[in-house]
């Protein structure tokens, strides 16, 4: 197992290097000059040239790339052109916000989606099966921006029971330790603030969970239907075991492998693709951070932000692969 993990980590190096090169070329093809964006439209030509020189933007693209690559090898993600702060320090609060939101969303998606898929397969062709699959189809087809706006209108404006944006109350800010507000409030014993944080998580979390929840439910149903027809399931039922234990103990363990693959992919997509949800609910996540950096032509932030998200995506997939062998002993990597 350790040999497999080491080999996968070595394979990660060329993948990330290729990704940095592609992103480097693409973002420099975006129209606009970072110096002009920083100084404004009325800046003189001399001032813009001086700023370009100080930022190293007057060098050929390949020199800029190798300078950026040399910094990465030293663990330096560069400095933001807009704020001059190190990206490695600046990105963590945004990344923590996205991670907290994505984890909350994937928990909802897994708990609801897996159980909905299991019950649909258990009671195939029942009213629950038809209803769950129709809702799953609606969930996959529903645009997140529309769903988010509807949630804000219904639960935030009309009913007034949930906040419509942000991570905390402005008049009662949270003392940050890890920038994971749920964890911070627990560590400080501020359970009153914990309730506030969870309320802020509900609407964006459910909106973000809708599509992965639907996909997981459909995949779980399909996988469970195949397993439920297996001989060992019929044998377990013939021995008189209760259907609940047959489904959740025997069938689910063998049906979960393809579902885990979907969960891993969806978690990675949530981390990198939560920008719509973050924009609608004013969530200060890494998606908005990179999006705003694109508007300012902040090259180091864009490059490093995408690199960090890609690294997390690959590590999640590696974790899922390792989890396969822990769940199913027939899968060996050595």
pLDDT in tens, the chain (334 residues): 677 777 777 877 888 888 888 888 887 777 777 777 776 667 677 777 777 777 777 777 788 788 888 878 787 788 887 777 888 888 888 888 888 998 999 999 999 999 999 888 888 888 888 888 888 888 888 888 888 888 888 988 888 888 888 887 777 777 778 888 888 888 888 888 888 888 889 999 998 888 889 999 988 888 888 888 777 777 877 777 787 888 877 788 778 888 888 888 888 778 766 778 888 888 888 888 888 888 778 888 888 888 888 888 888 888 887 777 777 666 666 6
What distances in angstroms separate CA 67 from CA 56, 57, 61, 334, one per listed residue? 10, 11, 10, 39
The H-or-E segment that residue 268 falls in is: helix 252-273
* Whole-number pLDDT of residue 108: 92
| 88-327 CATH | 1.10.3720.10
- The sign of the CA dihedral 209, 211, 216, 217 is positive
CA distance linking residue 163 with residue 195, whole number of Å? 12
* Token reading at 234: 């019929």
List the alpha helices (DSSP H) in 76-190: 87-122, 127-141, 144-151, 181-187
Domain coordinates in residue numbering, the chain: 2-73, 88-327
SS3 273: helix
Specify whether the backbone of 59 is left (phi greater than 0), alpha (psi in -120 to 50) or beta. beta
Q: Which single residue is written with the structure tokens 């693209």? A: 61
What residues have CB less than 8 Å from 182, skipping those under 6 apart?
A: 100, 194, 197, 198, 201
What distances in angstroms separate CA 292 from CA 58, 279, 297, 309, 322, one per listed residue? 23, 11, 9, 16, 36
Counting Cα atoms < 13 Å in the Cβ hemisphere of 101 gives: 35
SS3 23: helix
CA distance linking residue 5 with residue 322, whole number of Å? 8
């Amino acid at each position: 197992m350790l040999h497999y993990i080491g080999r996968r980590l070595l394979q990660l190096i060329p993948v990330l290097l290729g990704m940095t090169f592609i992103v480097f070329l693409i973002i420099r093809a975006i129209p606009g000059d970072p110096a002009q964006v920083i100084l404004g439209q009325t800046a003189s030509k001399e001032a813009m040239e001086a700023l370009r020189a100080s930022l190293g933007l007057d060098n050929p693209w390949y020199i800029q790339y190798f300078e950026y690559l040399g910094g990465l090898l030293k663990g330096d993600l560069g400095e933001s052109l807009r704020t001059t702060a190190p990206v490695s320090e600046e990105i963590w609060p945004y990344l923590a916000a996205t991670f907290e939101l994505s984890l909350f969303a994937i928990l909802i998606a897994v708990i609801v989606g897996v159980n909905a898929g299991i019950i649909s397969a258990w009671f195939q062709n029942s009213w629950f099966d038809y209803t769950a699959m129709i809702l799953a189809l609606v969930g996959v087809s529903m645009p997140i921006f529309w769903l988010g706006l509807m949630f804000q209108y219904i639960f935030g404006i009309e009913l007034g029971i949930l906040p419509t944006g942000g991570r905390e109350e402005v008049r009662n800010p949270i003392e940050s330790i890890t920038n994971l507000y749920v964890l911070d409030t627990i560590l400080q014993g501020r359970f009153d603030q914990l309730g506030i944080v969870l309320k802020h998580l509900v609407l964006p979390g459910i909106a973000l969970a809708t599509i992965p929840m639907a996909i997981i439910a459909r995949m779980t149903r399909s996988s469970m239907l195949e397993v439920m027809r297996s001989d060992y399931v019929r044998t377990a039922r013939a021995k008189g075991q209760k259907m609940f234990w047959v489904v959740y103990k025997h069938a689910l363990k063998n049906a979960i492998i393809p579902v885990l693959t979907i969960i891993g992919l969806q978690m990675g997509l949530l981390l990198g693709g939560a920008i719509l949800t973050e924009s609608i609910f004013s969530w200060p996540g890494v998606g908005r951070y990179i999006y705003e950096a694109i508007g300012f032509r902040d090259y180091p932030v864009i490059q490093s932000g995408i690199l960090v998200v890609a690294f997390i995506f690959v590590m999640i997939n590696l974790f899922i692969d390792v989890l396969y062998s822990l769940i199913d002993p027939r899968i060996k990597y050595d």
